[in-house]
Chain A
Amino acid sequence: MITANDVKSKLIENFNVFELNLQEDESNPIAEIRREALKNFEAMGFPTRRHEEWKYTPVSKYLKYDFEPRTFTDNGFAAKDALPDAAISGLRANVLVFVNGKFQAAHSDIIETDKFEFRDIASAINAEDPYLFSRLNAVIDREKDPFIWLNQAYMRDGAMIRIKDRVKLQYPIYLVNMELPSKGNYLDNVRHLIRVGDHCEASIITNYINRSGEDRNLGNYFTQVEVGDHSHLQFYTLQYELGNGLHIGNYEVQVGKESTFSTFFFSSDGRLVRNVSNIILRGEHSEGHMYGLYSLDGNDHCDNRTVIDHAVPDCFSNELYKGILDGNSVGVFNGKIMVRPGAQKTNAYQHNPNLILSRGATLHAKPQLEIFADDVKCTHGATSGQLDEEHLFYLRSRGLDAANAKALLTYAFAYEVVEKVKIPALREFLEKRIQGKLLIHD
């Protein structure tokens, strides 16, 4: 039987083969960056249950396949086949498609070419792009998640997006990330780098699709976002098509002064899904809004971790993550509010209500406050419960059967998050996804 340690050893041993396959120039500074990252990954290894951060997500349980970093993309036809799964009816967007960790120019379509720069990371590496290296070198915390180092060592491609100052994007940027089955178990390491200038308004949607069958794909994503001053960015993440797949997503976000960053996670599928968002409010009078909705069933395992870091005074943050757990699913929520010394007049709110629909479902919720300033307002709360019998009875007394009444109330529970979505086509898409087989439709 393959263990997490075997996977680790093989990754380290075969690094040379991976490098060889990429055919990067030996003098390219990326070689040093990769080796440094590999060293850090080797030192840390994969997390075990003894790691506090991984206590409820026993990742080693899922690392029992001989994952090989993918360096080929032979799924051109399959990608075309799978693309309709990413369609969001009525959404007009700047579309960027990645399949098996590799940019697909043929399936992508940028409408607003004059408003932002896009470069795929593979080209940026080969061109020795200084902005790219400055971002890669910004990952300096040795204690970081080993998956971040794994990503840095083995990154193959991704999106580098830079929105110029004083730009208001008319259409969202839609990043489609697809992993399609190949024979064998594969690891895709994808890096997205996003820089939003000053005085900007933009929204970005990322959609993850993983078509793992018996052969597994592990998608290891690392997204770095920088928001300048006086800007507004909405960042949406969709995880409805992860199926048997394994998904690790790390997000690092820095928000400048008088800016607003809003993040939305919609997770409803996946054998293993872990989203780690680290949001740093580093400019005064900035705001962080974090919304999440995880609706899990079957054997889904979804772990959402957020850190909102109030590094400077006068910032505001609000977090609402809601969970719906059915079947034998496992949900993990860990939300930390960090208030740094001197970050006075911080207002930070966090709320994590959960609806448990079955006996087999499990939820682990852990709110954390770390406050090093004395003039702040911070609140947090996590709850879990069943559907209200009185509500169910109200609906049944109007002729709806028990199943429909349950579905309707579950939808109503979820709606508080869905209604926050500001892109109409996306909101409708989500409403339909959540309503599912409900009797009630518009």
Chain B
Amino acid sequence: MALLEIKDLYASIDGNEILKGVNLKVNKGEIHAIMGPNGSGKSTLASVIAGREEYEVTKGSVLFEGKDLLALAPEERAREGIFLAFQYPVEIPGVSTANFIKASVNEIRKHRGEEPLDAASMMRLMKEKLALVEMDKSFLSRSVNEGFSGGEKKRNEIFQMAVMQPKLAVLDETDSGLDIDALKIVANGVNKLHNEENAFLVITHYQRLLDYIVPDKVHVLLNGRIVKSGGKELALDLEERGYDWIKEELEAGAPQNS
């Protein structure tokens, strides 16, 4: 059974149809990259998987470990093991990162029928994962994302992901606005977390991130549909040639899978 199976997915926002029949299958242990020009529906796909309520699914299905994902509230999806790394993480003044993560981890543990972590174990877990994204302990006492630089916010997303240990992580343009050092830290975090039991869906505009996070599959999303899928070399092709040749291929009626 696939970890994630999207079938003929249509979704719209404010009456505008954005996704127009997406099909995608992600197995445990895999890293998939979704690429595409602006406005192709990449962030919409991430939003629908995570459960953002302003998007309306008009057709199709999304199964997560065989369960109907679309029937679940966002928090239930998180507890089931889905994590969305936000393109624009939210600032929450007055709530320390440590308290926020503690609440989050314990909600997930409760869902799994586990006891809440005691203070010492929680601290150990957080310190261990902080090291992964090269963040200082002082982050924990700072308010969530408040006054963080763009790079710090993205590292905080990866840090939260590391602590929550999701089965499926969706990275929504996590590379945007990052300098090369921060990009390497983020990629390194992902690579260390990647194992045979989880999967990653990396949404990106640029090939750059994929130099560091090597995908098993690359998909091109264009006008709300996945129009081409391939191996990691497809990303290099896109970097070199842009998206126009794919549009031309489509118009010429060429096969969609290389």
Contacts and interface: CB of A to CB of B under 8 A. Distances in A.
B104 A400 contact: yes
Nearest to A418: B94
Given A396-B75, A440-B103, A391 B94 contact: no
Interface stretch (B9-17, B22-30, B83-91, B218-226): B83-91
A398 interface: yes
Contact of B90 (A394, A399, A400): A394
A402 B93 contact: no
B92 A412 contact: yes
Contacts of A442: 99
B103 A412 contact: no
Contact of B73 (A396, A411, A415, A418): A396
A393 B103 contact: no
B235 interface: no
Interface string A357-397: 00000000000000000000000000000001111011111
Classify chain B's interface size.
20 to 34
18 contacts: A391-B92, A394-B89, A396-B78, A398-B75, A398-B107, A398-B164, A399-B78, A399-B164, A400-B104, A401-B107, A408-B95, A408-B100, A411-B95, A412-B95, A415-B93, A415-B95, A416-B93, A440-B102
A401 B92 contact: no
Interface string B42-76: 00000000111110000000000000000001110
Contacts of A393: 50-53, 74
A402 to B, nearest CB: 7
B73 A404 contact: no
A429 to B, nearest CB: 16
Contacts of B75: 396-402, 405
B208 interface: no
Nearest to B102: A440
B93 A412 contact: yes
Contacts of A409: 92
Contacts of A408: 92, 95, 100, 103
Contact of B99 (A413, A414, A440): A440
A402 B54 CA distance: 15
Interface string B100-125: 10111001100100000000000000
Contacts of B86: 394, 397
A405 B83 CA distance: 17
Interface string A76-103: 0000000000000000000000000000
B174 interface: no
B198 interface: no
B79 interface: yes
A396 to B, nearest CB: 4
A117 interface: no
Nearest to A388: B90
A439 interface: yes
Contact of B103 (A394, A404, A413, A415): A404
Given A388-B90, A390-B90, A400-B104, 4 more contacts: A393-B52, A399-B111, A404-B103, A412-B143
B204 interface: no
Classify chain A's interface size.
20 to 34
Most chain A beta-carbon neighbours within 10 Å: one of B75, B78, B86 = B75
Contacts of A395: 92
Contact of B95 (A399, A416, A440): A440
B160 interface: yes
A388 B91 CA distance: 11
A397 B83 CA distance: 7
A402 B53 contact: no
Contacts of B79: 399
Interface string A238-275: 00000000000000000000000000000000000000
Nearest to A401: B75
Contacts of A129: none
Given A397-B84, A398-B100, A419 B52 contact: no
B121 to A, nearest CB: 17
Given A397-B78, A440-B100, A440-B103, A402 B92 contact: no
A442 B102 CA distance: 10
Contacts of B103: 400, 404, 408, 439-440
Given A402-B73, A442-B99, A397 B94 contact: no
Nearest to A391: B90
B94 A415 contact: yes
Interface in A25-74: none
Most chain B beta-carbon neighbours within 10 Å: one of A398, A400, A408, A413 = A398
A418 B93 CA distance: 12
A4 to B, nearest CB: 42
B77 to A, nearest CB: 8
B94 A399 contact: no
Most chain B beta-carbon neighbours within 10 Å: one of A397, A401, A415, A440 = A397
Interface string B156-174: 0000100010000000000
Nearest to B52: A393
Contacts of A394: 86, 89-90, 92
A17 B77 CA distance: 70
Given A394-B89, A404-B103, A412 B94 contact: yes
Contacts of B108: 399
Contacts of A412: 92-95, 143
Nearest to A394: B90
A419 B84 contact: no
A400 B107 contact: yes
A113 B99 CA distance: 42
Contacts of B99: 440-442
Given A411-B95, A440-B95, A398 B90 contact: no
B54 A389 contact: yes
A417 to B, nearest CB: 10
Contacts of A404: 103
Nearest to B108: A399
In the A-B complex, the 9 residue pairs with the smallest Cβ-Cβ separation, listed nearest first, are A415-B94, A399-B107, A396-B74, A399-B78, A394-B90, A398-B104, A412-B94, A396-B75, A440-B99
